[in-house]
Amino acid sequence: MKKLVIIGANDFQNQLILKAKDIGYETHVFAWKEGAIGEKTADYFYPISIVEKEKILDECRKINPSGICSIASDLATITVNYVAENLGLPCNGINTTIWCTNKYEMRKKLKNAGVKTPGFIKTKLGKDVDLSGLKFPLIVKPTDRSGSRGITKIFSNNELNKAIEYSIKDSFEKEAIIEEYINGSEYSCECISYEGKHHFLTFTKKFTTGSPNFIETGHIQPSDIDIKLQKDIISEIFKALDALEITNGASHTEFKLDDNGNIGIIEIGARMGGDCIGSDLVYLSTGYDYLKMVIDASVGNSLDLSKKIEPRKTAIKFIFNQEDLNEFEKFKKDNSDEIYRISDFNYDNIGNVADSSSRIGYYIYFLN
Ligand SMILES: Nc1ncnc2c1ncn2[C@@H]1O[C@H](COP(=O)(O)OP(=O)(O)O)[C@@H](O)[C@H]1O
Ligand SMILES: [Mg+2]
- Domains defined along the chain, listed by start: 3-89 (3.40.50.20), 119-180 (3.30.1490.20), 185-311 (3.30.470.20)
| pLDDT exceeds 70 at position 33 | yes
State how far the Cα of 327 lies from the Cα of 333, in Å rounded to an integer.
10
Separation of 147 CA from ligand 2 center, angstroms? 7
Closest ligand 1 atom to residue 179 Cα is: 1
**Number of the ligand 1 atom closest to the C-alpha atom of 181:** 3
Q: Is the pLDDT of residue 265 over 90?
A: yes
Helices 74-87 and 94-101 cross at an angle (nearest 10°) of 180
Ligand 1: residues with CB < 6 A are 103, 118, 139, 141, 146-149, 151, 179, 181-182, 186, 208, 214, 254, 266-267
Residue 4 has pLDDT above 70, yes or no: yes
**Per-residue pLDDT at 340 exceeds 90:** yes
Distance 60 CA to ligand 2 centre (A): 30
Residue of minimum CA distance from atom 21 in ligand 1: 146
Which atom in ligand 1 lies closest to the alpha carbon of residue 118?
Answer: 1
| pLDDT, tens only, 148-206 | 899 999 999 999 999 999 999 999 999 999 999 999 999 999 999 999 999 999 999 99
Residue 72 has pLDDT above 70, yes or no: no
For residues 131-147, give the mean pLDDT: 94
Q: What mean pLDDT value characterizes the chain?
A: 95
Q: Whose CA is nearest to atom 13 of ligand 1?
A: 214
7-21 pLDDT tens trace: 999 988 999 999 999
| Nearest CA, atom 26, ligand 1 | 214
CA-nearest residue for atom 20, ligand 1, is 146
Averaged pLDDT, 243-271: 97
Query: What whole-number distance in Å separates Cα of residue 91 and Cα of residue 164?
Result: 34
| pTM for this prediction | 0.96
Percent of the chain's residues with pLDDT above 70: 100
Nearest-ligand number for the alpha carbon of 266: 1
CA angle 244, 174, 99 (to 5 degrees): 5
88 CA → ligand 1 middle, Å: 34
Report long-range pairs for 200-209 (Cβ below 8 Å, ≥24 apart): 200/234, 200/237, 201/282, 201/286, 201/288, 201/290, 202/282, 202/285, 202/286, 202/288, 203/230, 203/233, 204/273, 204/277, 204/281, 206/254, 208/148, 209/320
Ligand 1 mean position to 54 CA, how many Å? 31
Closest by CA position to 125, among listed 164, 151, 170? 164
Q: What is the pLDDT of residue 283?
A: 98
Sign of the alpha-carbon dihedral angle for 32, 35, 36, 40: positive
